[in-house]
A and B are shown apart, each in its own frame.
Chain A
Amino acid sequence: EAQVTQNPRYLITVTGKKLTVTCSQNMNHEYMSWYRQDPGLGLRQIYYSMNVEVTDKGDVPEGYKVSRKEKRNFPLILESPSPNQTSLYFCASSDRDPFQETQYFGPGTRLLVL
């Protein structure tokens, strides 16, 4: 089954404790992206990757890191999480950039930073 998977689905952590949210897709998509969703703000793009070893900042990259060593994986790293990073996070992928192809979203990761 074609899908985007994220782990963990739920995470409670404390300020400053490094964490990684994994994202994997099995559709051989080139484009992958991370979004955070907050009430009243919609989804905001954190980072995106057009292909392996190519990553770029989105609208709200501060406090986040990503890497794209393999085509299928695009982990999101929070080196020193803070309470303002409490949010619902979505990973997405598409065959090419979203201008040409629809994005497929993962199930989401709900993060609470205390």
Chain B
Amino acid sequence: GQQVMQIPQYQHVQEGEDFTTYCNSSTTLSNIQWYKQRPGGHPVFLIQLVKSGEVKKQKRLTFQFGEAKKNSSLHITATQTTDVGTYFCAGYLSDTGNQFYFGTGTSLTVIP
């Protein structure tokens, strides 16, 4: 079954509203990476978190890695139309060797 789940699957927001996607793993993650995929495009790396409880910011984006390293979140403040796309979390599960797992993704639509 799917090892890394994301919620929500879809999110529509008005431009200027905030947005959050949550990533949950069935087992401990060694690391967590976040990717953005624009419609019709390929995934593009955004950031990596490694430490328990780590928080990183990139302009309007805030990334958090849970204390137990089983969950993560991406929060976008004051969304813009350029934020449209699907956001994926990804990482290694501690008990699966070198297999790399992606989350199910959250598709964000920003209404102007």
**A interface residues, Cβ below 8 angstroms from B:** 33, 35, 40-45, 48, 50, 56, 58-59, 90, 92, 97-99, 102-108
Contacts and interface: CB of A to CB of B under 8 A. Distances in A.
Contact of A41 (B30, B90, B99, B104): B104
B105 A42 contact: yes
Contacts, number: 57
Q: How large is the interface on B (under 10, 10 to 19, 20 to 34, 35 or more residues)?
A: 20 to 34
B109 to A, nearest CB: 15
A42 B100 contact: no
Contacts of A108: 42
Interface stretch (B43-51, B65-73, B75-83): B43-51
B2 interface: yes
A48 B42 contact: no
Interface string B15-36: 0000000000000001101000
Contact of A56 (B33, B98, B105): B98
A35 B101 CA distance: 10
A108 B48 CA distance: 23
B2 A41 contact: yes
A60 B9 CA distance: 22
* 10 residue pairs, one from A and one from B, having the closest CB atoms: A102-B45, A43-B102, A105-B42, A42-B102, A42-B104, A42-B105, A105-B43, A98-B100, A45-B100, A58-B99
